[in-house]
Amino acid sequence: MNKKLKGKAYVLGDNIDTDQIIPAEHLVYSLSDEDESKKYGHFALSGTPPSEAGLPDGNMPFISGEKNESEYSIIIGGSNFGCGSSREHAPFALQKAGAKAVVAESYARIFYRNSVDGGFVVPFESTEKIFDKIRTGDELEIDFDSNTLLNITDGKKYELNPLGDVLPIIEAGGLFDYARQSGMIE
Amino acid sequence: MGKTITEKILAKSAKKETVVPSENVWLNVDLLMTHDVCGPPTIQIWKDEFGDKAKVWDKNKVAIFPDHYIYTKDEHAKRNVDILRNFAKEHNLPYYFDVGTTRYKGVCHVALAEEGFNIPGTVMFGTDSHTCTSGAFGLFSTGVGNTDAAFILGTGKIWEKVPESIKFTFDSEMPAYLTAKDLILKILGELTTDGATYCALEFDGEAISSMEMYERMTLTNMAIEVGAMNGIIAPDEKTKEFLHKIKTVEYEEFFSDTDANYLSQHNFNVDELEPLVAKPHSPDNTDTVKNVQGTKITKCYIGSCTGGKISDYKFAAQILFDRKVKTPTFIIPSTTNVAEQMEAETYKGKTLTDIFSDAGCSMAPPSCAACLGGPIDTTGRSVDNDVVISTTNRNFPGRMGSKKSEVFLASPLTVAASAINGVITDPREFLT
């Protein structure tokens, strides 16, 4: 695993539910077909109301135009990120769009599990509210060893909670790889 | 220190003497449920990980209900049902309930109860966040994603963090104007949408004891809306009666000890509560119906795993009987069984189906339909600036279709009363 992760911030608020991450009408596409699954990247975060898309200004879509990938790879959220439906299509869509990590104050259980067990994005918890301190487009760096988030644009640093029990699953790349490495399955 | 019902069931499933909250344990799963949205990707992951010749861990422990996108022309949605059908055929799965056949049931969470899958004391996982509904029968049930489900499909096992429990006691007898939906909205208003993340919600008290099973399911169904892992109600005579009408089954009953440890305990007197709504755009944005009375609405919706059960239609019929709706009103029963009961059940000598039809409601066949928006040709889907009042479970932005629409969540009584007046209305206006 990369010990450091660099990327541009895409900032959202509290209670970003999975209908906003990937609206239900798009759940019909194949996740395994290479071409078709690109649609998940294209529609990632398309359900977010425009005024709340890309804080603090809003009206900054995660995906521009006809693209399937985003210029932003680190998503910043508030509390209860990923609440609502159990659709694993949500962290999958974020990954397809090129996101590597989410940093939020807290997560809904199923989104958190899906992110970890499916190996899609790394769900970091911030120790404080940060979505009002970071601007969409800021250059960020996450350090896995020191559990910190550095905003390169303004030089400010934030603490992250250690990944704890799920770190071995994240390091393995997901639940199946973890289970294979630990001898649970062949 | 005593144990809660959830801790006891998880200890049994983990084959451990005892478990404690926050501990990660590997559970042996008694039932895996999936549907047409998450089933196909689950099957794909399972094939990729276990190989083409892999066998399902136990074909008697897998139930598959196509229910989300059924009555649509969307070709991709149809393809997803084909994938389920082929998988069930290939692996000779006895519990696949196919679209377009007499075996079709409709919404999984209600069908699980009606087909006798909700066995007290067992552990159920499903690829749907509302899998927590089944906990009304005294079992542990919770939602997971496709990867977790694929792991269960191959191994029958999954890891889970033992939840802390929060207890809600509802005392007194339910007044005629109140339903289980009002009770869970009350909890949502107090705890908010992440007030119980990673917790178990346990419900008891006189009001719960006298509630029929379908109504209890409304409480456990929306446990996920408070962020909870599971909702649970201890089994009793009503549980046994419901189950034994379907099949004879032996099961182990678990009950919380009187000295069990709870993160918090909340007591309510139901006769002090009043009809509530959740205003746009979150289930915890609650208010009394009285405070929003008069709000103009463009659509009414009575359906889904939360509000499309026979108990919900019995409530709605009391108000819609011999009246006409002013606002387009959609009645979409959760299951074929509920639809059949609507034909048989009467109120003042008239079947529920006739009451709704005479009131001018639009009826559609059972499925999840517009609760989650769905493909653009879904019946009841919100369009443009619709203002909807609905018996469903979520009103996040765009949940029922249009991103510009607004959704109020309420009880079937409140939705029916609002349908008559064309504006949000307290059901007490019609219940004398």
CA A130 to chain centre: 15
Residues B182 and B44 grouped into a single domain: yes
Give the separation between CA A146 and CA B155, rounded to whole angstroms.
36
- What backbone phi and psi angles, to 5 degrees, belong to B409? -95, 135
pLDDT band at A89 (very low <50, low <70, confident <90, very high): very high
* Domain annotation for chain A: domains and CATH numbers: 4-161 (3.20.19.10)
Residues B219 and B297 grouped into a single domain: no
B48-70 residue pLDDT tens: 999 988 999 999 999 999 999 99
Residues B225 and B357 grouped into a single domain: no
Give the separation between CA B166 and CA B53, rounded to whole angstroms.
44
A110-164 residue pLDDT tens: 999 999 999 999 999 999 999 999 999 999 999 999 999 999 999 999 999 999 9
Would you say residue A1 has pLDDT above 80? no
Residues B219 and B305 grouped into a single domain: no
Contacts of A118 in chain B (CB under 8 A): 145-147
Residues B284 and B366 grouped into a single domain: yes
Residues B95 and B138 grouped into a single domain: yes
Give the separation between CA A25 and CA A6, rounded to whole angstroms.
32
Residue B381: both structure tokens together: 């889907």
CA nearest A82 in B: which residue? B227
Give the separation between CA B141 and CA B397, rounded to whole angstroms.
27
Residues B187 and B331 grouped into a single domain: no
Residues B224 and B90 grouped into a single domain: yes
- What backbone phi and psi angles, to 5 degrees, belong to B132? -55, -20
Q: pLDDT 10s per residue in chain B (432 long)?
A: 899 999 999 999 999 999 999 999 999 999 999 999 999 999 999 999 999 889 999 999 999 999 999 999 999 999 999 999 999 999 999 999 999 999 999 999 999 999 999 999 999 999 999 999 999 999 999 999 999 999 999 999 999 999 999 999 999 999 999 999 999 999 999 999 999 999 999 999 999 999 999 999 999 999 999 999 999 999 999 999 999 999 999 999 999 999 999 999 999 999 999 999 999 999 999 999 999 999 999 999 999 999 999 999 999 999 999 999 999 999 999 999 999 999 999 999 999 999 999 999 999 999 999 999 999 999 999 999 999 999 999 999 999 999 999 999 999 999 999 999 999 999 999 997
Establish if A47 touches chain B: CB-CB under 8 angstroms: yes
Q: What is the pLDDT of residue B389?
A: 98
Q: How far is B156 from chain A (nearest CA, A)?
A: 12
B423-432 residue pLDDT tens: 999 999 999 7
Whether residue B296 lies inside any domain: the answer is: yes
Residues B253 and B284 grouped into a single domain: no
For the packed helices B146-155 and B39-50, what is the interaxial angle rounded to 10 degrees?
50
Contacts of B397 in chain A (CB under 8 A): 19-20, 47-49
**What is the bridge-based pairing of β-strands A139-143 and A101-104?**
unpaired
Whether residue B359 lies inside any domain: the answer is: yes
> What average pLDDT score do residues A72-88 get?
97
Would you say residue A2 has pLDDT above 60? no
Residues B131 and B40 grouped into a single domain: yes
Indicate the number of domains in chain B. Answer: 2
Whether residue B273 lies inside any domain: the answer is: no
Residue B361: both structure tokens together: 């409601």
Whether residue B164 lies inside any domain: the answer is: yes
In this structure, what CATH number is given to the domain that contains residue B184? 3.30.499.10
Domain that holds residue B66: 5-268
Residues 6+ apart with CB under 8 A from B241: none
Complex ipTM value: 0.95
Residues B336 and B360 grouped into a single domain: yes
Whether residue B48 lies inside any domain: the answer is: yes
Domain finish residue from B268, B290, B318? B268
CA nearest B158 in A: which residue? A175
pLDDT band at A68 (very low <50, low <70, confident <90, very high): very high
Domain finish residue from B250, B268, B286? B268
Give whole-number Cα distances, B69 to A30, B179, B370, B371, in Å: 15, 29, 10, 11
Least CB–CB distance from A86: residue in B80, B129, B151 = B129
Give whole-number Cα distances, B65 to A149, B154, B213, in Å: 44, 19, 21
Q: How far is B195 from chain A (nearest CA, A)?
A: 10
Q: What is the pLDDT of residue B52?
A: 85
Residues B397 and B300 sit within 8 Å (Cβ to Cβ): no
Whether residue B243 lies inside any domain: the answer is: yes
HEC readout, chain A = CCCEEEEEEEECCCCCEHHHHCCHHHCCCCCCCCCCCHHHHHHCCCCCCHHHCCCCCCCCCCCCCCCCCCCCCEEECCCCECECCCCCHHHHHHHHCCCCEEEECCECHHHHHHHHHCCCCEEEEECCCCCCCCCCCCEEEEECCCCEEEECCCCCEEEECCCHHHHHHHHHCCHHHHHHHCCCCC
Residues B247 and B145 grouped into a single domain: yes
Domain finish residue from B216, B242, B268? B268
